[in-house]
Amino acid sequence: MAPWEILLLLLLGIHQLQCGTVTAWETTCSGAVPARQRAETISITEFGAVGDGRTLNTWPFRKAIYRIEHLRRRGGTTLYVPPGVWLTGSFNLTSHMTLFLARGSVIKATRDAWNWPLMDPLPSYGRGREFPGGRYKSLIHGNGIRDVIITGENGTIDGQGDVWWNMWRQRSLRFTRPHLLEFMHSRNIIISNVVFRNSPFWNIHPVYCSNVVIKSVTILAPHDSPNTDGIDPDSSSNVCIEDSYISTGDDLVAIKSGWDEYGIAYGRPSSGITIRRVTGSSPFAGIAIGSENSGGVSNVLVEDINIFNTGIGIHIKTNTGRGGYIRNITFLDVRMNTVRKGLRIAGDVGDHPDNKFNPNAVPVVNGVTIRNVWGVNVQQPGSIEGIKNSPFSQICLSNVKFWGVGKQYMSWKCMHVSGATSGVEPWPCAELARFPASGLCSNAL
């Protein structure tokens, strides 16, 4: 066994609960949001649904959830989806309900775009993410609800996204593509033991939410599928993502908080985000922060991550005009195999919703700790490139080691950054002082 393999195995046992001022929710988020037992169970078949993969079941889903909402059984109701393929258009969830997908069940999105309602833009984005104006509602949507569980026996939610990907490639879309699952202004949400497949756009998007646990999910989309992010916590707090596998066409997990002047005005940060024991592959990034960070992102803990066949392992990205901040971010125990770049922290990434952004709204990136990160078959170790008028500060790397392909020479690229390093191979750059550095990042390293 090679030395790096031994070291990687040793790292598998490392789980630190605290780094700097970021504290984990214990070693699991189970129990952080109560998993309530429902007093009543109803089946989608009671409302005329047919699971033959051809019959459109939009109205049965809507009728079932209308019944749950208005009868208000004490303790809530479980909507049971039995084995079968249940074709449907978009439908809304309600409070105090569990959507349970049995083994062998597939909730499959219709391919007919006219069956997808349009929604107003998110206020923190000012427009649809792809096009000015509205956006298509997600396949499964919740707004202003609480105490909701989506779970089962690894049943599947299939977005049949190829029709949307093709429209995107052909530039025939008029509005922003729908997500597979979106919660807005909601709290106390649990998503577990479900497979998400072939989303038209982002897969799971909690926005303006709090107390969200996403665990033991599988998210799949082809690597050439455009913008199929796995999980995007957005202007949300107290979010935990753990024990999941993600292989998609874009970032596996991307933390966001609004876009340029609209995100600054809305002012809803993302904070208290925990990501642990996630494995995955993507042509873009493994774990990302940004580039939409205008409401601010803080207090993020990422630990025990396995990334393979990926573009960038860790990607923190922002841009002039974003404003906001990225601070108190900790990455622990990240393992990479076959990535183009191990680490990138950049101040020149991402486009703008319009030309009304303030060029003087520069983001602040401060307090990023990256510890116990190992990568093999890494083409380039990394780059840390801050903004001239707002240098990135307290960027602290400890025990970060990247091995290249064969005997290729690898070098870092750094500018407009300050911080400290300890045990980094190859050594990054003169801008980051070798540890110990008096008073600099001492808590982190």
Q: What is the CATH number of the domain that holds 8?
A: 2.160.20.10
Range of weakest confidence among 1-15, 24-38, 126-140, 376-390: 1-15
Q: Where are the alpha helices (DSSP H) in 274-371?
A: none
Percent over 70 (pLDDT), the chain: 91
pLDDT-based confidence at 16, cuts 50/70/90? very low
Give the pTM.
Answer: 0.93
Residue 354 falls inside a structural domain: yes
The whole-number average pLDDT for the span 241-260 is 98
| Predicted confidence (pLDDT) at residue 14 exceeds the cutoff of 60 | no
Q: What is the DSSP string of 164-220?
A: HHHHHHHT--SSBPPPSEEEES-EEEEEESEEEE--SS-SEEEES-EEEEEES-EEE
Q: What is the Cα–Cα distance from 173 to 165, expressed in whole angstroms?
A: 10
pLDDT at 12: 34
171 vs 243: CA distance, rounded Å = 36
H or E stretch covering 266: helix 260-266
d(Cα 135, Cα 184) in Å, to the nearest integer? 14
pLDDT at 279: 98
Average of per-residue pLDDT across 171-190: 97
Predicted pLDDT of residue 4: 35
3-state secondary structure 73-104: CCCCEEEEECCEEEEECCEECCCCEEEEECCC
- Beta-bridge mates of residue 293: none
Cα Rg of the chain (Å, integer): 22
Residue 32 in any domain: the answer is: no
Q: Is pLDDT at 179 greater than 80 in this prediction?
A: yes
Q: Is 163 exposed, middle or buried (0-12, 13-18, 19+ CB in 10 A)?
A: middle
pLDDT band at 402 (very low <50, low <70, confident <90, very high): very high
The catalytic residue positions are: 250
Is 361 part of any domain?
yes
Average pLDDT of the chain to the nearest whole number? 92
Distance CA 418, CA 390 (A): 11
Under the banding of pLDDT at 50, 70 and 90, the label for residue 25 is very low
pLDDT at residue 339 tops 70 = yes
At residue 436, the pLDDT reads 60
Task: Give the pLDDT confidence of 100-144 residue by residue, as tens digits.
Answer: 999 999 999 999 988 799 999 999 999 999 999 999 999 999 999
Q: Is residue 79 assigned to a domain?
A: no
Region 396-408: mean pLDDT is 88
Q: What is the rounded distance in angstroms from the CA atom of residue 118 to the CA atom of residue 138?
A: 9
Mean pLDDT of 25-43: 85
Within a domain: residue 88? Answer: no
Residue 397 confidence (pLDDT) above 50? yes
The answer to whether position 280 is within a domain reads: yes
- Residue 183's pLDDT is what? 98
Per the structure, the complete domain to which residue 260 belongs is given by 3-20+107-434
* 163 φ/ψ angles, rounded to the nearest 5 degrees: -65, -35
The CA distance from 98 to 107, in Å, is: 15
Name the residue with tokens 């803080």.
Answer: 298
Contact (CB, 8 A) for 92 and 119 = no
The fraction of the chain above a pLDDT of 90, given in percent, is 86
The pLDDT value given to residue 407: 65
Question: How sure is the predictor about 442, in pLDDT bands with cuts at 50, 70 and 90?
Answer: low
Nearest to 194 by CA among 234, 159, 236, 145: 159
CA distance 191 to 231: 11
Length of the chain: 445
Q: How confident is the model at residue 441 (pLDDT cuts 50, 70, 90)?
A: low
Domain assignment of residue 370, yes or no: yes
Tally of structural domains, the chain? 1
pLDDT band at 169 (very low <50, low <70, confident <90, very high): very high
Identify whether 77 is part of a domain: no
Cα distance between the two ends of the chain:
29
pLDDT in tens, 40-74: 999 999 999 999 999 999 999 999 999 999 999 99
Question: Average pLDDT of 268-282?
Answer: 98
Residues with Cβ < 8 Å from 388, sequence gap 6 or more?
416
Structure-block tokens of residue 378: 């890494």
Looking only at the bridges linking them, the beta strands covering 140-143 and 91-92 are parallel
Which tokens is 434 given?
Answer: 């070798």
